[in-house]
Amino acid sequence: MGVCTLRIDGTDIAVATGTTVLAAARQAGLRIPTLCQHDGISAVGACRLCVVEIEGHDRPMAACVTQATEGLQIRTNSPRLQEIRRTVVEMLFTEGNHVCAVCIANGDCELQDLAVAVGMDHSRLPYRFPQRSVDLSHPRFGLDHNRCVLCTRCVRVCDEVEGAHVWDVGWRGEHCRIIAGLDQPWGEVESCTHCGKCVQVCPTGALFPQGEP
């Protein structure tokens, strides 16, 4: 296994070939905000919160899907990156219905933590207040589309770890949403093993355990 040396925020670090920039930064003790990334499942570079600046590239790159290579010079926290991250978080909040005060994940929510981390004390974008449904057809869990940020962690963990492939992404544009089975009520999808892995990796309150009746 080869080794490459790169510089992140002024610190030289040597990592194994094939390591992502995100993992290299973590090895250097640096925190880059993430949302769609989750250890143990594939990286898809969907949320763009982990963007970094790489010398020689005009556009910011997603650290979770960019491989560390010899000689890279990387900045993880410039004013430009801070502005991008704040805007991404504002778009996530305004695109759905994230009413923290009545959310099961309040106080244990990665979106909430990100809002704090990027300094989002209000949204500069208008709220869209979309009409979205809640699926309570499963005997143990629920899905609230209002709180889904389409990170696809549930899709990947169900596919790659549990091997059940209950979840997928359906529709397009503003109608894009997570679907169970062939866009069925979750409780009717026979391949669901009731393992709860999707609920565990959900960063918000979109997938949640139901209480005792």
Q: Which residues make up the interface to ligand FES (CB under 6 A)?
A: 34-37, 45-50, 62, 64
Q: Other CB atoms closer than 10 Å to residue 45's CB: what's the count?
A: 15
Sequence-distant (≥ 6) Cβ neighbours of residue 29 within 8 angstroms: none
Residue 203 beta carbon to ligand FES: minimum distance, rounded to whole angstroms: 10
Residue 46 beta carbon to ligand FES: minimum distance, rounded to whole angstroms: 6
Q: 139 burial class (0-12, 13-18, 19+ CB within 10 angstroms)?
A: exposed
Q: Select 22 or 198, whichever has its Cβ closest to ligand FES.
A: 22
Residue 37 beta carbon to ligand FES: minimum distance, rounded to whole angstroms: 4
**Cα–Cα separations (whole angstroms), residue 192 to 43, 143, 195:** 23, 14, 8
Residues 20 and 67 sit within 8 Å (Cβ to Cβ): yes
Give me the phi and psi of 29, to 5 degrees please: 85, 15
Task: Identify how many contiguous H helices and E strands the chain contains and give both numbers.
Answer: 5, 10
Q: What is the CA radius of gyration of the chain?
A: 19
Q: Select 15 or 35, whichever has its Cβ closest to ligand FES.
A: 35
Residue 32 beta carbon to ligand FES: minimum distance, rounded to whole angstroms: 8
Structure tokens at 77: 């926290």
Q: Select 33 or 142, whichever has its Cβ closest to ligand FES.
A: 33
Q: Select 45 or 187, whichever has its Cβ closest to ligand FES.
A: 45
Residue 114 beta carbon to ligand FES: minimum distance, rounded to whole angstroms: 10
Q: Select 19 or 37, whichever has its Cβ closest to ligand FES.
A: 37
Residue 45 beta carbon to ligand FES: minimum distance, rounded to whole angstroms: 4
Q: Select 114 or 158, whichever has its Cβ closest to ligand FES.
A: 114
Sequence-distant (≥ 6) Cβ neighbours of residue 129 within 8 angstroms: 97
Dihedral sign computed on CA atoms, order 88, 135, 178, 133: negative
Give me the phi and psi of 113, to 5 degrees please: -60, -40
